Structure 1
Amino acid sequence: MPGTPSKTSARLCDGDLSRAQPQAVRLDACSACQLKCPLCPVTTGATHKLIGVGMLALDDFMRLLDHNPGLRRIELANAGESMLNKALPDILRVAHERNVITTFDQGLNLNHATDEALEALVRYQTEVVRVPIDGITQKTYEAYRRGGDLRKVLSHVQTINRYKARYGSAKPLLRLQFIIFDHNEHELEGAAVLARMLDMELVPRLNWSTSVFAVKDRERVRQVMGYADRDEFFQETGRHYCHHQCLDLWRSPTINWDGKLLGCCRNLWVSYADNVFEGPLEDFVNSEPLRYAREMLLGQQPPRSDIACSQCSVYARMQESGNYITPEKVEAALEKVAATAPLS
């Protein structure tokens, strides 16, 4: 039986788990990307219709903060490469001045970056920067990060570290994301060494696909990850590999660069609002469709065609296994955000 929501959860949800009062959001600073990663929805064109190609304007960012003084954390990456946005240093500065934590835990490929932007990550105390480096040689790196230059990426990471030393700062925490493919699985140990050399935290990940770039030495991957691929993860846990992303409908709703409300980072089909920069976020995230979506994820309502979850593989796995989001998971996710938010 679901437990009784804590005081923190009740404060954030008003005791109604179909509603949200987010202290955090994911706001895409740029939906364009200079790389052509084969499995990425930007490369395949899946993002073109709903997300489009564009960059977050500084004025829109300031409007979001003006309308939502309770926001405490903003993830500034989603579909594209945020470093392509020339306004990024000013966006980070404004967030820092407003006492809002910034992160890039969705990832920065760092193939192109100005010195000003790299310094801003440190100067304005960005908390986390995740960098996808799926190979320790140019050959293996560009096998997936097509159009990428590993030397530039490593140089930009080193520049961040130099600024961290200059400012005497531990931030941002740097994460080296290593997605395990058939062409790089032999470099897992080398990636760990590279991460230590660059003062980064190694974050290995399973391949999105179980058929394209599928790993060959499944036992080797299983020893590192616990599972050889995402299908095996589901078979053993009853959950989609990205099941945690569904919690974003409560803790950190996704906003497109142009103000469209997407709800979560996997949504490529439905906009729940045209422009959330025009008013308080709480009004938009508690529309009837989004409240219904949360009830779907809780297993309280059947799928509905106008809800993005109905087209999502994560929700399909929930239906298959009956392993829906629980009130306890929502509560824990909200309390984690509240605990890591800066003091007002």
Structure 2
Amino acid sequence: MSLLKKLNKLFNIPRSIYHYKKGHFLLPYLPGGLWIEPTNKCNLKCIMCPTSIVSQKEFGFMEINLFKKIIDEAKEFISYVVLCVSGESLLHKDFSQMVNYAKDNGIDTYVSTNCTVLTQRVAKEILEAGLDWINFSFDGCTKEVYEKIRVNANFEKSLQNVINFLKLKKELGAKTCVDLQILAMDKEGVKDYEENIDTFLDNFSGLPLNNIQLRHPSSWGGFFLDTDRFDTRELSGHFSPCSYLWSSLSVLWDGRVVACCSDFFGENVLGTFPEKSLKQIWNDEPMRDFRQAMINNKYLDFNKNCQGCDALWDAKILGLPSGIRGTSTLAVNNVFGGNYFSTFKRLAKYLEPNFAMEIVKRNKKTKRGSY
């Protein structure tokens, strides 16, 4: 893809910021990124995940031809695709082919995985396909904490999969950015991190791990409400309309298009691709109505899933809410290359409160009740 076309996509950043701040709901630009769900099926039953809490009506895998049709339309306006919504994306037999097809069309690729099915074959395929970024969701520095959260997973096996991936990345000279994320589910999780993180990191000595981050649990669009222990509203102080409605769309495995990457069960379908094009859906009546409801703080009348969603209360960084901030960072990464995304995440640690650690500190000061 030519630099001129990439720069044109980059201009969506100031456009989206301007129209978001003005509260416009009919937008003269197209989304800068997509979330695409290769599958909604998962092999784990993690205690914080909506797919473990709510019974899924139907499981499926996106057909590769449908994926290619999505990319064929979206390549003119998106800079990146996040290859996960719900489910474990690496279960899809054509995952590396998806990465390769997106990359061939000038689109950066991102995925988050639970590491459990990351065999050497899968690792080699996705590294050679040119995956730009992979996040390992590894929620515990010890076997006890990890397996309590990641039900049906094995600590030693998952850890070895990550180590093997990093060794292979080093061997191949791959530029894939590798992040490792640990969720602090409760006081025990924070204590586990503080006491064991150094020993845990020794496993990756000399290996190309780009970033490790302790995070508070997401409410997953309001599905997982047991997060008052890390209530973002208590720290950020004010409501911000969800900027994802001004920056991205999500496509489920069967082609249903939703506004939110946390709408795992397709409860607010805007349209179905390819019956409707992404361009049509972006400014069609359901999406316009949703934006207007969000601006008017009446989003619950339109989508009950927004209740309790922490994206509406996330702290801004450099004046940007999380949705537009993410899209902007990934667009810059797409144009200029390098690891701006990972660099920005590291910088964000100093600009954005770490809610997990902050709440624990506050509890220590006030001696409030236990988790």
Coarse TM-score class (shorter-chain normalised) = 0.7 to 0.9
Unmatched 5+ stretches in structure 1 = 1-5, 216-227
Paired position in structure 2 for 1:234: 233
Letter in 1 for 2:49: C
The 1-side partners of 2:252 and 2:145 are apart by 32
Aligned partner of 1:139 among 144, 147, 152 = 144
Unmatched 5+ stretches in structure 2 = 1-9, 338-371
Please show how residues 243-262 of structure 1 align to structure 2 within 5 Å: 246-262=242-258
What is the CA distance between 1:126 and its match in structure 2?
A: 1.8
Please show how residues 215-226 of structure 1 align to structure 2 within 5 Å: none
What RMSD over aligned residues (CA atoms) do the two structures have, in Å?
Answer: 3.5
C-alpha contact 2:37 2:62 (8 A) present in aligned 1: yes
- Say if 2:72 is the partner of 1:62: no
Aligned partner of 1:313 among 283, 296, 307 = 307
C-alpha contact 1:28 1:255 (8 A) present in aligned 2: yes
TM-score (norm 1): 0.76
Paired position in structure 2 for 1:221: none
Structure 1's 7 and 39: CA in aligned 2 closer, same or farther, altered over 3 A? closer
C-alpha contact 1:136 1:191 (8 A) present in aligned 2: yes
The 1-side partners of 2:310 and 2:101 are apart by 40
What is the CA distance between 1:292 and its match in structure 2?
A: 1.6
Aligned to 1:17, the other structure's residue is in SS state coil
Paired position in structure 1 for 2:340: none
Aligned partner of 1:162 among 167, 170, 189 = 167
Amino-acid identity (%): 18
What is the CA distance between 1:59 and its match in structure 2?
A: 0.9
Aligned partner of 2:287 among 290, 300, 323 = 290
Letter in 2 for 1:289: P
Aligned to 1:121, the other structure's residue is in SS state helix
C-alpha contact 1:195 1:201 (8 A) present in aligned 2: no
Aligned to 2:39, the other structure's residue is in SS state coil
What is the CA distance between 1:287 and its match in structure 2?
A: 1.4
- Say if 2:333 is the partner of 1:340: yes
Structure 1's 37 and 331: CA in aligned 2 closer, same or farther, altered over 3 A? closer
The 2-side partners of 1:98 and 1:317 are apart by 30
- Say if 2:186 is the partner of 1:181: yes
Paired position in structure 2 for 1:75: 82
What is the CA distance between 1:26 and its match in structure 2?
A: 0.6
Structure 1's 80 and 94: CA in aligned 2 closer, same or farther, altered over 3 A? same
